[in-house]
Amino acid sequence: MDINHAYQLIVDKLSLWAKELIKLLPNIALAAIILVFGFFLAKSVRNLLKKLLRKFIHNETLENLFSSIIYIFFLGIIIFIALSVLQLDKAVTSILAGAGILGLALAFAFQDIAANFISGIFLSIRRPLFVGDIVKIKDYMGKVEEINLRDTVIRTYQGQMVIIPNKDVFQNPIENYTLLGKRRIDLKVGISYGEDLERVKAITLEAVKDIEGLTNDDEVTMFYTEFGDSSINYVIRLWISISEQINFLEVQSQCIIRIKKAYDKHNIMIPFPIRTLDFGIKGGVAFNEMTESRNDKNDH
C-alpha cells in the first residue's frame, strides 16, 4: 500500500473526528452542565429526604438506605439525560437492557438475601422490638443485642448469641416481654381433696401479697382450675414490674417458698401422686373377700 495514501486516509479520518467533535462541543458542554447541576440536585434531595425520614423512621441505617437509593436513582436519571444530549441513545438502551437482565439474574440468585433485607426494612418501620427488649422468637428467648437489615441478634439466657434471619423474625410470632413494662407469673399448684378451698385461697393470697417486685396496679389472683388425679389444682397469677428473667425467676422462687411455709404452718397438704386400687368394681372381687379367701386357703 502507498504510504502517502495511507497517511491521507489517517488524516481524513482524524479530520472527520475533529469536525464531529467540534459539532458536539455544545452538546458536551450542555451535558457537563447537566451532570454538575444534577449531582448538586441529587445531593440536596438526599439531604432533604433524610430530614423527612428522620421524623417518621428512627433508624439511622434505614434513613441512609432510603436516601442512598433515591440519590442513586437521581444520578441514574441525570446520567441518562446527559448521554441522550450526547446523542448516545443506543448506548442508553443497551445499558437499560443490560441492567434489567442483570437485575433479574441477581433477584433469582440472591432471593433469600433479598427476602431478609426487605423483612429488615419492614421491621425497622413497624418496630415490634428494640435493642434491649426481652423477646421470644421461635424457640429462642433472650435479650435483643442488635437489629440489622439482614438479621437480628439475640443473647439467650444460656449465654449463646443467636443470629436469626429477619425473614424468620418477620414471619413468626414475636413474644415481647418488655413492651408492656411488666410480666405475669402463672404458678400452678395442687392441694389435697380434704382441704377447705376457701381457707386455702385466703391463706395463699395472704402469703404472696407483699413479695418485693410485684406491681402496685395489678391484683394477685387465684383460680381453681381442675380436679386432678391426686389433687385439686389451681393457678395463682402475679404481675412483676421488671421484665428481666432473673427478676422473674426470683419472684417465682419467693412465691413457692412463701406458699410452702404458709401451708406447713396451717397444715395444708400438697399431695404426692396417689393411686387407689378398687377391687369392688363390676366383675371384680372386693379386697376383703380376697383376703378372707386367702386366709381360708392358708388354714387348710
Gap between the Cα atoms of 214 and 187, Å rounded:
14
Residue 149's pLDDT is 79
0.75 surpassed by pTM? no
DSSP assignment of 154-169 equals EEETTS-EEEEEHHHH
> 273: which DSSP letter?
P
pLDDT in tens, the chain (300 residues): 567 666 666 766 666 666 666 666 677 777 778 888 888 888 888 788 777 777 766 666 666 667 777 877 888 788 777 777 776 666 666 666 666 666 666 556 556 777 887 888 788 778 888 888 889 998 899 999 988 878 899 999 888 999 999 888 888 899 898 888 888 999 999 999 989 999 999 999 999 988 988 888 889 999 999 998 889 999 999 999 877 788 889 999 999 999 999 999 999 998 877 666 555 555 555 555 655 555 555 555
pLDDT the model gives residue 46: 79
Closest listed residue to residue 223, CA positions, set 204, 239, 196 = 204
Inter-residue contact 37 to 81 (CB < 8 Å): no
- pLDDT computed for residue 88 by the predictor: 67
Contacts of residue 121, defined as CB under 8 A and 6 or more positions apart, other chains included, come to 62, 65, 149
3-state secondary structure of 280: coil
b or e along 121-141 (b: 16 or more beta carbons within 10 Å of the residue's beta carbon)? bebbeeeebeeebbbebeebb
Rounded CA gap, 187 and 71, in Å? Answer: 56
- What residues are paired with 239 via a beta bridge? 184
Give the chain's domains with CATH numbers. Answer: 3-109 (1.10.287), 129-176 (2.30.30.60), 180-300 (3.30.70.100)
CA-CA distance, 85 to 31, in Å (whole number)?
Answer: 6
The pLDDT, as a whole number, for residue 268 is: 92
Q: What are phi and psi of 31, to 5 degrees?
A: -65, -40
* The three three-digit cell numbers of residue 104, written as one number: 433479574
